[in-house]
């Protein structure tokens, strides 16, 4: 997030591209997309939604990924138009296996888009300016000084969905947490 904030202060100077600005995402908006689901997720009946939640919870518990850390791999301008700055990560095998298991579970319920190559990255902000200026970004080496020095830690999965009458986000967050113990324990956090 430090790189995004530095770019927001003066992207044109840092990147040597006049007329270029940068809009950093807020910390709360930062997320690593795990599985893209279609609009059918938001149209599921409550019983189906509950069954999917329990299946995903089983997959998360079986994966035992509480200690997974993601090593920072670098910054890049995300294709196709390269207007998004992303932080790329190297993902450990247990998290890769969990991602595949979650995708398969979502596919069973008809809510997952067809699987594609997963590029573990977090959007940190967006370049703003004329297309010609964005195209002039040839290197992001100037951001190396803002690179994370410690690995990121995955805390759990979050379901991001439009309004759904049966989707209680806090309940899903507990069910899909990577923390050990009973994920459905609603006692003191």
Within a 10 A sphere around the Cβ of 162, how many other Cβ atoms?
9
Bond preceding residue 118 cis, omega within 30 of 0:
no
The enclosing H or E element of 112 equals: none
| pLDDT surpasses 80 at 116 | no
pLDDT of residue 183: 40
Per-residue model confidence (pLDDT) at position 182: 39
**pLDDT band at 6, cuts 50/70/90?**
very high
This prediction's pTM: 0.80
Q: How far apart are the first and last CA of the chain?
A: 26
| Greater model confidence, 131 or 179 | 131
pLDDT at residue 4, as a whole number: 93
CB 89 within 8 A of CB 32: yes
Whole-number average pLDDT of the chain: 83
């Amino acid at each position: 997030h430090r790189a995004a904030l530095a770019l927001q202060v003066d992207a044109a100077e840092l990147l040597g591209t006049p007329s270029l600005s940068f809009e950093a995402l807020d910390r709360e908006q930062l997320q690593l997309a795990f599985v893209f689901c279609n609009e059918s997720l938001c149209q599921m009946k409550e019983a189906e939604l509950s069954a999917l939640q329990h299946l995903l919870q089983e997959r998360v518990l079986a994966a035992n990924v509480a200690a997974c850390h993601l090593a920072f791999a670098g910054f890049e301008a995300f294709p196709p138009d390269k207007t998004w700055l992303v932080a790329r990560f190297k993902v450990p095998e247990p998290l890769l296996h969990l991602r595949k298991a979650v995708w398969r579970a979502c596919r069973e319920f008809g809510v997952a888009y067809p699987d594609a190559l997963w590029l573990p990255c977090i959007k940190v902000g967006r370049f703003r300016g004329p297309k010609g200026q964005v195209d002039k970004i040839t290197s992001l080496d100037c951001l190396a000084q803002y690179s994370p020095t410690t690995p990121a830690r995955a805390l759990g999965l979050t379901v991001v969905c439009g309004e759904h009458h049966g989707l209680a986000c806090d309940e899903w967050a507990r069910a899909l947490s990577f923390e050990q113990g009973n994920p459905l324990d609603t006692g003191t956090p």
